[in-house]
Amino acid sequence: MIRAAVLALLAGVLAAGEADPDGWRADLRPRDDAWKAVPQRFVFNNESEPQSLDPALMTGVLESRLAMALFEGLAMRDPRTLEPRPAAARRWESDAAGLVWTFHLRPEGRWSDGQPVIAQDFVLSWRRALDPATGSEYAGMLYPIRGAEAYHRGQGPADAVAVRAVDQLTLRVELHGPCPWFLDLVTFHTLYPVRTDVVAAHGAAWTRTALVGNGPFTLAAWEPRSSIVLERSATYWDRERVPLERITARPVDDLEAAWSLFQAGELHWTPAIPAARIDDIKRHPDFIATPYFGTYYFRFNCTRPPFDDARIRRAFVRGTDRERVTRFITRSGEVPAPWFVPRGPQARGPGLAFDVEAARAELAAAGYAAPGKPGRPLPPVVLLYNTSENHKAIAEHLAQQWQEHLGAEIRLENAEWKVYLDRMKNLDYGLARSAWIGDYLDSNTFLELGRTGDGNNRTGWSDPEYDRLLAASQIETDPERRRTMLDRLERILVEEQCPVLPVYTYVNKALVREEVHGLHQNLLDHHPWQFIWLEP
């Protein structure tokens, strides 16, 4: 947490003072011309059909992979260190308190239709993301800006959101309090600019029929359930130094099929592998496994019996043997996690340990009988997961555990990605398979999911104490006091109220062909496409 804050502040200072703020890019480019002997056409498995290519509406990792190619924010992440670096903005500076930020856009910045990228594009795009009518589930990312939360909640006007175009190439942003991770936020897809005039002209279909972006690639073709093809942009400001000519994203949710495609040489990268093949795949020379700032967990629908009772939620948490999941199902170094924020294998922190007797005591307190005992049994529970044999294997394994430990009847339902997201949003489930990958390297990116009304909450759970403490933690500048606040927030989340059931901390498992260069492994699995190339 502290390191992330320091890096963010340092990035702001250095970017403002460097004579060549783009000098860092040279270290990410090919060293010689060997890559020119290979067609620069990259094919990867994106696992499913994206829900949307609209930066304000997308919520998943597979959408953000495509957004990084099609759009560019004020800043971007260095794929080696994850530090914020200049992107659509060439430089920036802040006042001494870190409350007023000024971004200076590149005069050479262009949209894919040739129009210049200007400061007003960001003003209108950020207001659009905050507009309640847009329905952005990530609008909370903009809450550090003065007036943003009030506007999003319908309690203030749009023109009170403190984002201003000083002139065509200068954007000024005022925060309502200190936010050490603000530069991380401006790298995120919700804060990417869009052409609001194009959106207005084409409506919801704009990303399919008239997508205009400012990123290094443009949308060339979209064949549903087959492929999305991106081609190098002819107007991107740094186009002469983008090696890849074409990127093809395949939506293969059958991971056995993806494994076969990789073996056949038809994929350069597949970021998910079939759990049933893990022992064989781990011996493959192209297999990688690295730490990942993410948690695999289950959401409870806290608005529907029996999970409207925190005692039942605690019973399910207590009745979950996480170690059996990582030992027998995932088997790649994942860390069993009774906490929500990833902490690493040596961590000791809050959480409810596996304890069948304690789980059954919670059942009894809520008026339900333990397995094999007379009394009221738990009602059947629908467990929702998105189509994937890995998710299915984990769901089946845990359903057996909950049947054995709690007497619960679990009905598994799988759905394709877009339907799965809609059902979670509409609370059409009992339990739902979930995952959260940090948007930046701070606990806040996980703990915000518990905030009342947050678009990524999707549990129906609300706690005023939690909301007040979260808001206070976001402006607390003393590290020790903030750490105490964060620990208390997580205790509410995973020990007391339990709207979520953490299972394990992720490992980033993937297959990457050896001719792929520039795909640096990092904690956020963040891979800017303009720095990737193929080489013999």
Block mean pLDDT (10 aa), the chain, length 536: 40 49 94 95 97 96 97 98 97 96 98 98 98 96 97 97 98 96 97 98 95 98 96 98 98 96 98 92 95 96 98 98 96 93 67 95 96 92 95 97 97 96 97 96 96 96 97 93 95 97 95 97 96 96
The predicted model scores a pTM of 0.90
Task: Please indicate, yes or no, if residue 462 is contained in any of the structural domains.
Answer: yes
Summary count for the chain: helices (H), strands (E): 17, 19
Same domain assignment for residues 92 and 31: yes
Same domain assignment for residues 307 and 209: no
Same domain assignment for residues 470 and 362: yes
Task: Please indicate, yes or no, if residue 285 is contained in any of the structural domains.
Answer: no
Q: How many domains does the chain have?
A: 2
Task: Please indicate, yes or no, if residue 410 is contained in any of the structural domains.
Answer: yes
Cis peptide before 306 (omega within 30 of 0): yes
Same domain assignment for residues 305 and 368: yes
Same domain assignment for residues 196 and 115: yes
Q: What is the pLDDT of residue 17?
A: 41
Radius of gyration of the chain (CA): 23
Same domain assignment for residues 229 and 189: yes
The number of C-alpha atoms within 13 Å of 127 and in the hemisphere containing its C-beta is 18
Same domain assignment for residues 198 and 106: yes
Alpha carbon 34 to chain centroid, angstroms: 35
Which among 168, 160, 188 has a CA at the least distance from the CA of 84? Answer: 188
Same domain assignment for residues 320 and 203: no
Q: What is the pLDDT of residue 285?
A: 96
Q: Is the sign of the CA dihedral 442, 445, 449, 452 positive or negative?
A: positive
Q: Is the sign of the CA dihedral 401, 402, 407, 411 positive or negative?
A: negative
Cβ-contact 57, 136 below 8 angstroms: yes
Task: Please indicate, yes or no, if residue 231 is contained in any of the structural domains.
Answer: yes
Q: What is the pLDDT of residue 67?
A: 98
Same domain assignment for residues 237 and 211: yes
CATH number at residue 470: 3.10.105.10
Position of tokens 């915000």? 448
Tokens of 160: 């009170």
Compute the distance between CA of residue 247 and CA of residue 373 in angstroms, rounded to an integer: 58
Compute the distance between CA of residue 257 and CA of residue 330 in angstroms, rounded to an integer: 19
Compute the distance between CA of residue 412 and CA of residue 400 in angstroms, rounded to an integer: 11
Same domain assignment for residues 328 and 461: yes
**Coil vs helix vs strand at 516:** strand
Task: Please indicate, yes or no, if residue 270 is contained in any of the structural domains.
Answer: no
Same domain assignment for residues 114 and 201: yes
Q: What is the pLDDT of residue 19?
A: 59
Strands (DSSP E) found in 160-286: 163-167, 170-174, 217-223, 227-232, 246-250, 269-270
Task: Please indicate, yes or no, if residue 183 is contained in any of the structural domains.
Answer: yes
Tokens of 44: 């990867």
The number of C-alpha atoms within 13 Å of 191 and in the hemisphere containing its C-beta is 25
404-413 burial: b if 16+ Cβ within 10 Å, else e: ebbbbebebe
Task: Please indicate, yes or no, if residue 203 is contained in any of the structural domains.
Answer: yes
Q: What is the pLDDT of residue 5?
A: 42
Same domain assignment for residues 479 and 530: no
Position of tokens 């609300």? 462
Query: Domain limits at 103?
Result: 2-246+513-534
Q: Side chain identity at 33, as an amino acid letter?
A: D
Q: What is the pLDDT of residue 13?
A: 42
CATH number at residue 133: 3.90.76.10
Task: Please indicate, yes or no, if residue 273 is contained in any of the structural domains.
Answer: no
